[in-house]
Homo-oligomer: A and B are copies of this chain.
Amino acid sequence: EGPTVLILPGEGIGPEVVHVARDILEHVLDRAGLDAAISEHAVGRPAYERTGQWLPDPVRDKLDKAAATPCGAVLFGATADEPIGELRSRYDLFANLRPARPLPALRAVSPLRPERLEGVDLLIVRELVSDVYYGRRRTGTDAGRRWAGQEMYYREDEIRRILRCAFQHAEARRRHLTLVHKANAIPDVFGLWLDVLAEERPAHPHVEVQEMFADTMAMELVLRPADFDVIVTSNLFGDLLSEITGAVLGSLGLLPSATLSPTGFALYEPVGGTAPDIAGTGRANPLGTIGSVELMLRHTFDAPRWADLLAAAVARAVESWRTPDIAGPEDKPCTTEEMGAAVREAFDTL
């Protein structure tokens, strides 16, 4: 009995990219002789239209059960804020890992000059269940004028666990950690981040630690992306910074993510959103979702060699096949399905 994997296609381009990625997941597991209990469930808009619930009760029950096993996992397509925010929060999916490394064959896709991409290999560790996203909300009217407030809020333990997670990844990588904050303008919240960082540092003497303002980081990611290894930050800043790395690579459709809970339960999803403008056209790039399957093989299945093989298959497939977002002026763009088939074929020849 292997891991329980729930497939939640979601909406927009979600179902299309998940379909292709699920196919590849099953193909790899099959070849690797790995077991898994896989099932698929509607959430988000399609579920809402049928049941009146963004996250229907039966799906929530299944998720509750999977989250209670040591190696439950979700492969997620895309939804708007409903129910992704609830999922993250309900299962305490606090550690969002967003790795970014350019594929050699796709250098030309990046808006950056090729020399700036040399050596880029970074990991954004984004806190995902706190910050202004989940802070206190209030609205009102004062002398006839409306106002609204939502609190950016962090507790020391929330900060500590994400920093520890980031330190662990830094230890296993190039031992460089950048904490991104904005203590010059938001001193209480990010002062606390800096205090907790100071407390955690001594336990990791071999990790070089750097602090950087969020605005400076936004700039440096574009100017010098190769200078960073692990970048750890709050929910809101992590949201913006990971889209910048998507831009640096040339397409958000390339970026995978893994989000871990303290118990090991994990959710895998592409960084990109529902992209309603291209949903149903076969133009969506499935590589961010396939990359998320790679992360699932690594973390949930503890099968790093099969993950590496899948990564190699992707690198090879993009030498000849490209969805419109990553196609050059001379390339004939392929469809979502064709991209998936190309990865599977490349995998079989490795």
Residues in A lying within 8 Å of B, measured CB to CB = 80-81, 85, 111-113, 116, 132-133, 135-139, 142, 145-157, 182, 184-189, 191-192, 195, 214-216, 218-223, 236-237, 239-244, 246-248, 250, 252, 273
Contact = CB atoms under 8 A, between A and B. Distances in A.
B186 A150 contact: yes
A133 B185 contact: yes
A218 B192 contact: no
Given A137-B188, A150-B189, 4 more contacts: A111-B113, A148-B153, A149-B189, A185-B236
A249 to B, nearest CB: 10
B188 A149 contact: yes
Contacts of A156: 145-147
Copies in the complex: 2
Contacts of A247: 218-223
Nearest to A196: B146
Nearest to A153: B149
A216 to B, nearest CB: 7
Contacts of A191: 148
Contact of A139 (B136, B150, B188, B219): B188
Top 5 closest A-B pairs, CB basis?
A222-B247, A148-B188, A219-B243, A149-B153, A219-B247
A217 B322 CA distance: 24
A246 to B, nearest CB: 6
A136 B316 CA distance: 53
Nearest to A183: B81
A185 B239 contact: yes
Contacts of A186: 132-133, 150
Contacts of A219: 243-244, 246-247, 252
6 contacts: A112-B112, A136-B151, A148-B189, A215-B239, A218-B243, A221-B247
